[in-house]
Structure 1
Amino acid sequence: MSTSLSINLKRPSKIYYEGDIIAGVVVVECAGEVRHEGLSLAAEGAVNLQLSSKSVGIFEAFSNSIKPINLLNISVELAPPGKIPAGVTEIPFEIPLRPRQAVSPGYPGLLETYHGVFVNIMYTLKCGMKRSFLNKPLNASCQFFVQYKHQEAPAPKPVRCEVTPSSLRAGRGRRGRGGAAGGAARAPMPRFQLYAEIDSTVCALDKPLTGKIRVDECSVPIKSIELQLVRVETCGCADGYSRDATEIQNIQVGAGDVARAREVPLHMVLPRLFACPTTTTVNFKIEFELNIAVIFEDDYLVTENFPILLLRCR
């Protein structure tokens, strides 16, 4: 005789906002009558931090700041000890989504769900059925997603710039870089003049990033023009921190030697879960950047970097 346990949410999107009621049913399916010692449901949320390999040597400085941060912990009893009849039994539940009350200083409240490399913010429903010592307890889990409520959209902040060899030399380490792969690392920088424009560096998560790039002059053929979204995750505290940048997605907006003096549109839809509102807390930060990369045929690379602010707004 087998017994299964599952959680079904009423909201198909599984997206909830602070103050919402998480409603659904716990489904118990069994071939015969099942005796149990209680059925419980818990809503949990936590931030899990992880150090990159380059920070292993200074692990002691992070020993307190990399512990999981508890955001949500609510438990309810669905059924007292008793019996569940054969067949399919649905047990309804409702749990209010609200932040913890008694918290330590620096508690950030409910944060948006986010799946990163070194920072993960996850929310889960966990159901457990206790049974006699001769039978293993049954467990089921279901992930749900938390989002901020939409706020009013701020005024756009467009950015325009010209990229030339002289601007890269003046801003090296600040916004642009040039380089070549392999043995061509010391090859002379080609002559070029690029114009890049981002419609706004303050971006709504539900709307695409847009802009344009134009190649006014280039002394060598172009291999590719790419638009890159990068997350910058910082873990740590005043004693030390680990800051790592990783690429989320890369879109090729120009293939081959693009026509000169012709505008190439930029359009990027932000990925769900892998992007969230820009977040700053005591123990970690989640920031985002946009790179426009021009790769020449000899693999020489020129990148223009734009720090961006992501918001959950209309």
Structure 2
Amino acid sequence: MSTKIVLKFFRSNRIYRPSEPVEGKIVINSPSSISHHGIRLSVTGSVSLQVRGGSAGVIESFYGVVKPITIVNKSIEVKPPGKIGSGTTELPFTMVLKQIGEKSLGRFYETFHGTDVSIQYLFTVDIARGYLYKSLSATTEVIVESDKADVLERPVSPEMAIFCITQDTQRHPLLPEIKSDGDVCRNLTLPIYVILPRLLTCPTMSTKIVLKFFRSNRIYRPSEPVEGKIVINSPSSISHHGIRLSVTGSVSLQVRGGSAGVIESFYGVVKPITIVNKSIEVKQSGKIGSGTTELPFTMVLKQTGDKSLGRFYETFHGTDVSIQYLFTVDIARGYLYKSLSATTEVIVESDKADVLERPVSPEMAIFYITQDTQRHPLLPEIKSGGFRVTGRISTLCSLLDPISGELTVETSAVPISSIDIHLLRVESVLVGEKIIADGDVCRNLTLPIYVILPRLLTCPSVFAGSKCP
């Protein structure tokens, strides 16, 4: 019979914080007495990169041979050299992973068993028996959680996230009859209660940077000051070579493949046209402490009287043309560390002084729809019974104002299913569909038209050349 060694901890779940004492006992079952050169208990904590074969490329495979990063490696003597009698022997032990005020050790990351990253803390007992005998050992893993002092204090959201799942939100094919594992009562609130698997989850360990603007809609004019703050959440203090905030505005041509010809494909490789590119220093080289750090900033896109910059075109996300203004914060950390950055888009509207003054049409455009104005095949009932819709709609308006108008169904030989209005951009892409009426409507009843323009998908007319027609 061989000698058996078991590590038993007084906590059955084996969950500890670095500053808490780890207490337990070493249980040795031996059929006969054995001599030894000392019994030691050690703890090793490490971060391992485990890139799996098959999905890893040449670069990723390099990281598969990187040695584990050591977090802690310490040991204590439980029993000096001597002899262990036959039967069961119990040796109590106490060990603290990190003493209070000890700065030689870094941050204790929480235990995590991931696919590519693994963080483990292993307790190992070794019984040295000299050259003629094989040493005896046993290893047991404990789960380490962060000390309360190291946990970032974050505001708890007062509201829970609201979600909605319908047949319209699904992208995969649906059966005519959606099957489920058991039926449930309609309009019955079912509780959601999920316990996270502790070994397979861990809190975020990386530094997070968020750009927050004092205007919630992030809409600015070039001459207005853009004010906000840079929020940095870091699990530990970090050194840096300076924090800079930059803004880049550009016009990009994005010709899509398939519909583009030989000439159009040439524009797909044209570099973006820069509108503005400037930066300011928010903080000089130094150190950022652990926890949450907020750095306020103020930047003006275009100073009054600054003629070095051209016209600031309004933000626009089109199919072939895109106009964007991006604010980027960069934290330089030298050659040995990866720089940290975050980017947020703001919406730029033209200054009032740059808006072209054009006479507003005193009248609205009048339209009518009959069976004679339609080019597609019509039902015989419509041809014989007649169909006529009249109305009027505004043809010139500000992007901030809705498109308004009205229509009247004067005659219809068949019932009406719905009345919709479609918005088409100059790029001939459908960007919106609004329902004016759902179902059949009363004849000769005036229905209002009220459509709010999607801001990011629309922009005012941009004229080419030095003179505007």
The two structures have a TM-score, normalised by structure 2, of: 0.48
Match of 2:399 in 1: 205
Q: What aligned pairs does 1:54-65 form with structure 2 within 5 A after superposition?
A: 55-59=259-263, 62-63=266-267
CA spacing shift, 1:23–1:249, aligned 2, 3 Å: same
Deviating above 6 A after TM superposition, structure 1's stretches of 4 or more consecutive aligned residues are: 186-189
1:43-63 CA-to-partner distances (Å, cap 9, x unmatched) read 111222222445422246743
Q: Secondary structure at the match of 1:270?
A: coil
Match of 2:239 in 1: 35
Match of 1:26 in 2: 230
Match of 2:376 in 1: 179
Q: Is 1:117 aligned with 2:117?
A: no
Distance 1:31 1:257 in 2: 61
- Out of 201-210 and 156-165, give the one that drifted further: 156-165
Q: Is 1:192 aligned with 2:393?
A: no
Instruction: Check conservation: 1:157, 1:202, Cα contact below 8 A.
Output: no
Match of 1:230 in 2: 424
Q: How many Å apart are 1:15 and its aligned residue? A: 1.4
Q: How many Å apart are 1:123 and its aligned residue? A: 1.1
Distance 2:249 2:279 in 1: 12
Amino acid at match of 1:271: P
Match of 2:278 in 1: 74
Q: Is 1:249 aligned with 2:432?
A: yes
Distance 2:422 2:268 in 1: 33
Structure 2 unmatched ranges of 5 or more: 1-106, 108-205
1:5-62 CA-to-partner distances (Å, cap 9, x unmatched) read 2222223331111211112222333333321122211111122222244542224674
Instruction: Check conservation: 1:156, 1:201, Cα contact below 8 A.
Output: no
Q: What aligned pairs does 1:42-191 form with structure 2 within 5 A after superposition?
A: 42-53=246-257, 55-59=259-263, 62-63=266-267, 66-98=270-302, 102=308, 109-150=311-352, 154-166=360-372, 168=373, 177-180=374-377, 190=383, 191=386
Q: How many Å apart are 1:85 and its aligned residue? A: 3.0
- How many equivalent residue pairs? 253
Distance 1:196 1:54 in 2: 39
Structure 1 unmatched ranges of 5 or more: 169-176, 234-244, 283-314
Q: Specify which structure has the higher proportion of strand.
A: 1
1:122-141 CA-to-partner distances (Å, cap 9, x unmatched) read 21110111113222111111
Amino acid at match of 1:162: Y
Instruction: Check conservation: 2:255, 2:268, Cα contact below 8 A.
Output: no
Q: CA RMSD in A?
A: 3.0
Q: How many Å apart are 1:64 and its aligned residue? A: 7.8
Distance 2:319 2:407 in 1: 30
Q: What aligned pairs does 1:301-312 form with structure 2 within 5 A after superposition?
A: none
Distance 1:60 1:159 in 2: 35
Distance 2:246 2:454 in 1: 29
Could you tell me which of 438, 441, 447 is aligned with 1:264? 447
Amino acid at match of 2:214: K
Amino acid at match of 1:178: R
1:217-271 CA-to-partner distances (Å, cap 9, x unmatched) read 23344332211111113xxxxxxxxxxx111211122233333222222121222
Amino acid at match of 1:16: Y
Amino acid at match of 1:226: D
Distance 1:64 1:192 in 2: 46
CA spacing shift, 1:81–1:263, aligned 2, 3 Å: same
Distance 1:259 1:53 in 2: 47
Could you tell me which of 267, 270, 280 is aligned with 2:463? 280
Amino acid at match of 1:8: K
Report the identity percentage: 31
Q: How many Å apart are 1:102 and its aligned residue? A: 4.5
Instruction: Check conservation: 1:156, 1:202, Cα contact below 8 A.
Output: no
CA spacing shift, 1:31–1:216, aligned 2, 3 Å: closer
Distance 1:117 1:67 in 2: 16
Amino acid at match of 1:154: V
CA spacing shift, 1:157–1:49, aligned 2, 3 Å: farther
CA spacing shift, 1:229–1:92, aligned 2, 3 Å: same
Q: Secondary structure at the match of 1:204?
A: coil
Q: Secondary structure at the match of 1:228?
A: strand
The two structures have a TM-score, normalised by structure 1, of: 0.70
Match of 1:174 in 2: none
Instruction: Check conservation: 2:381, 2:413, Cα contact below 8 A.
Output: no
Amino acid at match of 2:227: A
